[in-house]
Chains A and B, each alone.
Chain A
Amino acid sequence: MSRLATIAAGVRDGSHSAESLIEQTLADIAVRDGRYGCFTRLLSDQALRDARLIDTRIAGGEDPGPLAGVPFAVKDLYDVAGLVTTAGSVVRKNEPPALWDAEAVMRLKAAGAILVGTLNMDEFAYGFATVNAHYGTTRNPHDVERLAGGSSGGSAAAVAAGLVPLALGSDTNGSIRVPASLCGVWGIRPGDGILSSQGAFPFVERFDQIGPFTRSAADLALVHDLLAGKAPVLGRGAAPRIGRLDGWFARHAGPDALEAVETVAAHLGAGTASLPSAEAARSAAFLITAGESGAFHLNTLRSSAMEYDPAVRDRLIAGALLPAALLAKAQQFQPVFRAEVDALFEQFDILIAPATPTVAPRIEEGTILMDGKPVSARANLGLFTQPLTLAGIPVAAAPVARPGKLPIGLQFATAPGRESMLFELLLELEKDGVLAAAEVPS
């Protein structure tokens, strides 16, 4: 059963009040988050007011919804009524506060969930590290000397550490899938157009998707479907045809990633699937991200360049300088790659690949090995997620069960419209013990 549904059932049947649950959550965050650096703002007063309202509604015989009393938190780029949407930057500190909650926040609140705070991220979501010059580095709960991944690192780490059972992040090039992998939790980048990004500060609009982090597959499916506004998945379909992506996705995988994908592929009897253009797709996604985000920030850079996080600023300026013809070429490649992926989904229902090439790198090193050479983790941890971004398809990141070892996750990608089949498979693999959220050592 869904952990979130269990929490909500306890609130609805009076086993515990929403107020006591939120008090406990806030106290836990106050004591433990100093070690991780997940939260940027706690919304204690508002959360307690919302909790009392849930309790009052239950006392009056109302059903507050399937997430009654469930605490959640959001990446710092979601609009929250009354707060400035920082997007992880002090550049936006003088912007007016948001008038309304982002649509995803509204939907979770409408289901009874209670927002307790906002979470750290790479500035303007440009990075795979959650190393933020303004708000600090979010540390991996499995080893605080290691990166949580990014850009939704605060969201992934908060769920991994058990500070909240549910968090929202966003994924442009892998910003949900990368930190989910390194922190050992579940996440999903929904397919294009499935979830509303209204009220989420943009990074690269053609790629931006919002999505949840949870500690179980059932929770992931529940929240995805709640946010999508559709009925939960029911029943079993035909056995899916599984393909393990080779080529680019195998060549750059480190030993932990290879072991993880081999374990799952063997369990599923997966065939071999090829996307010959994967490397070019990654480069196209890299160029589009640079060019379009650089153009988006150009006016602000002209007036306030030195207020940006230096690492992000230099990437944005370089992107703004990208010759238009090169950007156009990368943009024109997107439908070519989509056609290649569509063709592969004629042979396979679900594709699997590592979500990251390695387990969480050490913070002080800040690098990963690629072709035997150290390269920036901030820019390259998404080398397996970026190609699939270009395809616009739903991709879940799932933690592979490996007790006693640092977590690593796999991507499970499917064609748009086959999300039910994807969730059925994830639930089955979790039930079989092949996939499981990693337990943080006490």
Chain B
Amino acid sequence: MSEEPDDILSAFAASLLRLDVPPACREGVEANLTLLARHARTLEDWLKREDVPGN
């Protein structure tokens, strides 16, 4: 998959649409997905740095 942050968010949104999340949970789940996307972006950004071993 792409490493771009926007694509990560899109992947989350697509996951949410595929799953049968109970309506009462949707708002809370979306908030948590946003948080996870932020962490995914932090990790991606770090891994893209030139001084990280292996890059």
For the complex, what is the distance from the CA of A330 to the CA of B46, rounded to whole Å?
11
Given A321-B15, A330-B43: A314 touches B29 (CB 8 Å cut-off): yes
CB nearest neighbor in B for A318: B32
Q: Say whether A52 faces chain B, with CB atoms less than 8 Å apart.
A: no
Given A287-B40, A305-B22, A323-B12: A314 touches B46 (CB 8 Å cut-off): no
Q: Say whether A225 faces chain B, with CB atoms less than 8 Å apart.
A: no
For the complex, what is the distance from the CA of A329 to the CA of B24, rounded to whole Å?
31
For the complex, what is the distance from the CA of A283 to the CA of B16, rounded to whole Å?
21
Chain A min CB distance to B9 (Å)? 11
Task: Please state if A317 and B25 are interface contacts (CB–CB under 8 Å).
Answer: yes
Given A314-B29, A317-B21: A283 touches B40 (CB 8 Å cut-off): yes
Task: Please state if A286 and B22 are interface contacts (CB–CB under 8 Å).
Answer: no
Task: Please state if B43 and A284 are interface contacts (CB–CB under 8 Å).
Answer: yes
Task: Please state if B53 and A325 are interface contacts (CB–CB under 8 Å).
Answer: no
Q: Give the B interface residue count (CB, 8 A).
A: 28
Bits for A267-281, please: 1 = Cβ < 8 Å to B, else 0: 000000000010110
Q: Say whether A11 faces chain B, with CB atoms less than 8 Å apart.
A: no
Residues of chain A within 8 A (CB-CB) of B54 are 336
Task: Please state if A323 and B35 are interface contacts (CB–CB under 8 Å).
Answer: no
Residues of chain A within 8 A (CB-CB) of B52 are 277, 336
Instruction: Among B1, B29, B35, B53, point to the contact of A321 (Cβ < 8 A).
Output: B29
For the complex, what is the distance from the CA of A277 to the CA of B19, rounded to whole Å?
33
For the complex, what is the distance from the CA of A286 to the CA of B47, rounded to whole Å?
16
Chain B's interface: helix, strand, loop or mixed, by majority?
helix
Chain B min CB distance to A147 (Å)? 19
A 19-63 contacts with B by CB, 8 A: none
For the complex, what is the distance from the CA of A339 to the CA of B54, rounded to whole Å?
12
For the complex, what is the distance from the CA of A379 to the CA of B22, rounded to whole Å?
22
Instruction: Among A283, A310, A325, point to the contact of B1 (Cβ < 8 A).
Output: A325
Task: Please state if A283 and B31 are interface contacts (CB–CB under 8 Å).
Answer: no
Given A315-B32, A379-B35: A280 touches B42 (CB 8 Å cut-off): yes
Task: Please state if B40 and A326 are interface contacts (CB–CB under 8 Å).
Answer: yes
For the complex, what is the distance from the CA of A313 to the CA of B46, rounded to whole Å?
30
Chain A min CB distance to B20 (Å)? 9
Q: Say whether A322 faces chain B, with CB atoms less than 8 Å apart.
A: yes
Chosen A-B contacts, 27 in total, with CB atoms closer than 8 Å, are A282-B39, A283-B39, A283-B43, A284-B39, A286-B39, A287-B36, A287-B39, A310-B28, A314-B28, A315-B32, A318-B32, A318-B36, A319-B32, A321-B12, A321-B19, A321-B33, A322-B12, A322-B36, A323-B1, A325-B1, A325-B11, A326-B40, A329-B44, A330-B40, A336-B52, A339-B53, A379-B35
